[in-house]
Structure 1
Amino acid sequence: MKFNVKSALSYNVNGPTTFIFNIHALNTSSQTVLEENLTIDPAINHDVFTAHDGRSKFMRLKIQEPCNFSMSYSAIVDMSYKIIDENNSENLVSVVELDSYIASFLYPSRYCQSDKLMKFSFKEFGHYATVYDRVLAITEWIYNNIEYTSGSTDSQTSAIDTITERVGVCRDFAHLGIALCRALSIPARYFTGYAYQLNPPDFHACFEAYIDGDWIIFDSTKLVAVNGLVKIANGRDAADSAVASIFGNAVGTSITVDCQVMDDNFQPFIYGGNQKAISFQ
């Protein structure tokens, strides 16, 4: 399945500022970037680098003088995913058997204070028979108990804030899902990407849980089909995967995002009930 993704961002820079952007579609075993293009107007020197784990792709640029600038990115991405029958999923993989990368997604992080949600998580979800059922129950609980309201939170909102105030956006839904999974010793990581048929169009966040040797994707917002996602990055939470990080004096003035499917046979997949799972690698 091929997708055409686009994003455009504009900024008003008032003084020396360094930007780190995270908008490139990733090349992974299930996602191939066939072509891509990046334009910055006016032209500004920049460099592209990967995160310490070799996965996420970042672009850095530095501006010394006040100015206005814009940048646009586009890519054609070929997607594939693995369908997994989780009806007979095994018990939780022992922590001692996890490699260091996967184990790193068990710990509390800035926005996902799983250590403060252990009692709640075990009470609400600990009785489910399989790991997949627990994560699906977490996803459904968030969908049914947290109100999705655009603009209701900010960059400081954490999973504890979300479960207390019972309102949030996709970023907050993802953080809460991650925190509740980790509270049950289920590795979980943040997912940010482009999303087909998201309304209004924007970058989208959800989460992946590590189950039986696969990273399974879950979206508590149910705003898009999980097979209509194009991955930009993974991280412990949004602090690792922010679309734009600004170090200096600048203000964003506009942002547009678009994701279109290029094939005619797209069949949307949204979890609900006793269904098979989707894994992106």
Structure 2
Amino acid sequence: MAYGISTYAYFWRHSARASRPMTLTEMLADTAELGGQVFQICDYAPIEAYDRAQLADARATAHDLGLELELGTRGIRTEHLAKYLDMAGELGVTLVRSMLHVPGHRPDPAEATALLKESVPRYEDAGVTLGLETYEQVATDDLVAVVRGVDSDRLGVVLDPGNSVARLERPVDVVTATAAHVVNIHVKDFAFSRRDGWVGFTYAGTPLGEGLLNYDGMIAAVAAARPGRRINQIVEHWLPWQDEGYDVTARLEHQWTQHSINTLLRSE
């Protein structure tokens, strides 16, 4: 098991709201400086425009910093997964995270299973694992049914129990349902807070250990269900934009990232 950081932990700092968005190289360097061992390039649109030389540079930079790379995307169309498998080969990546639904394509479990049966054999041949993330657009039972239907050791679940709360699925139930199939874990904490005047709630991120995520229980459940399996843990955030502006938001984002990776490293 290794501990790392996702592009989602740099969400605001590499966004258009920054006067000079962080580059991938800067995110890699920051991850290494914070003690991370893995960097997951997740839903990072610029990577799709990289040519082979740029991909080779990213791989070399990560290697020089002592970082393992992972990739993340959305969608399971055959040509899209083939593109990301090719990129994985150029980057030296052995895990690609995806999601079943994208705008314009929302396959049901039967179609998703059929599509993945076309793509996963290529992943098997390349020694790359494909992980499907838990999230509110797909019932966890349906996601697990797809994984079981494909029945490959190179297809599993990227566990992020906070995502499924919006589907009224309890995090503990998501962990229990998926534990035997987990290949990667997104670590982000979350909580509800009352809106002004007590009119409803806001569901958002919180520093690790201060919210509703039962981190110890999640890790124990996965470890018991997957003994001996190497499963990386990747720091993410749901940090809301701060009213004080970019500088305050960026500073908090860094603090949350530092706190999260330090917490994971201390848990070893």
TM-score higher than 0.5: no
Name which one, 1 or 2, has greater alpha-carbon Rg. 1
Greater relative contact order, per chain length (Cα 8 Å cut-off, separation 6+) = 1
The structure where strand makes up a greater share of residues is 1
TM bracket (short chain): under 0.3
The structure where helix makes up a greater share of residues is 2
**TM-score between the two structures when normalised by the length of structure 1:** 0.25
